[in-house]
C-alpha cells in the first residue's frame, strides 16, 4: 500500500513540476509579444531644427508602424494611424493653435530618438511632414 501511495505522490509531483515549468516558460513569452496596436506621441514640426511635443507630450495616438517600399531599395517608414488622415488633420490644427502657423506638421514618435517619420494610410496616402528615407540592405545567408 505504501508503495502505491509513493507512486501516486511521485506522479502528482511530476505533473506539478511539468505544469510549473510550462507556466514559467510561457509567461515571459506572452509578456514580450507585441500587440497589434501601438501608441506614439505627437510632435509638431516647422523644420528639422524646430519642433515641440504637442501638449507637452501628453497627446498619444494609436496605430502601427509600417514600411512602404519606394524605388530600388528605398523605404519610407510611416505610422498608420487609427482613424486615418482626418485625425492627423485635427492634430495639425492643434499644432498650429499651440505653436503658430509654421508648426504645421504633426508627426509620430516613440521617443526623442525616433527619426523623422510621417503619418500615413495603407493605400499610400501620407500626411504632409518631414521625413527620411531608409535604405534596405539585404541580408546575405540563410
Judgement on whether residues 73 and 131 belong to the same structural domain of the protein: yes
pLDDT of res. 75: 87
Judgement on whether residues 78 and 104 belong to the same structural domain of the protein: yes
Residues 6 or more apart in contact with residue 109 via CB below 8 angstroms: 40, 41, 42, 43, 117
Judgement on whether residues 130 and 87 belong to the same structural domain of the protein: yes
> Could you give the count of Cα atoms lying within 13 Å of 7 in the half-sphere of its Cβ?
4
Domain count, the chain: 2
Judgement on whether residues 117 and 69 belong to the same structural domain of the protein: yes
pLDDT of res. 92: 97
Question: What residues make up the domain containing 22?
Answer: 1-33
- The residue assigned the cell 523644420 is 47
Q: Look at strands 50-53 and 38-47 and give their pairing.
A: antiparallel
Judgement on whether residues 44 and 82 belong to the same structural domain of the protein: yes
Note down pLDDT in tens along the chain; length 142 residues: 565 666 565 666 667 655 656 566 655 554 444 445 799 999 999 987 899 999 999 999 999 999 888 887 788 899 999 999 999 999 999 999 999 999 999 999 999 888 899 999 878 899 999 988 777 655 555 5
pTM of the model: 0.67
Judgement on whether residues 48 and 22 belong to the same structural domain of the protein: no
Amino acid at each position: 500500500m505504501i508503495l502505491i501511495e509513493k507512486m501516486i505522490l511521485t506522479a502528482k509531483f511530476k505533473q506539478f513540476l511539468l505544469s510549473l515549468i510550462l507556466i514559467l516558460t510561457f509567461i515571459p513569452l506572452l509578456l514580450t509579444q507585441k500587440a497589434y496596436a501601438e501608441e506614439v506621441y505627437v510632435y509638431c514640426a516647422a523644420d528639422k531644427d524646430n519642433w515641440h511635443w504637442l501638449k507637452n507630450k501628453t497627446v498619444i495616438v494609436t496605430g502601427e508602424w509600417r514600411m512602404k517600399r519606394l524605388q530600388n531599395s528605398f523605404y519610407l517608414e510611416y505610422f498608420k494611424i487609427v482613424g486615418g488622415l482626418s485625425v492627423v488633420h485635427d492634430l495639425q490644427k492643434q499644432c498650429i493653435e499651440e505653436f503658430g502657423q509654421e508648426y504645421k506638421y504633426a508627426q509620430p514618435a516613440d521617443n526623442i530618438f525616433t527619426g523623422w517619420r510621417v503619418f500615413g494610410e495603407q493605400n499610400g496616402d501620407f500626411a504632409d511632414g518631414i521625413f527620411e528615407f531608409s535604405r534596405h540592405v539585404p541580408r546575405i545567408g540563410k
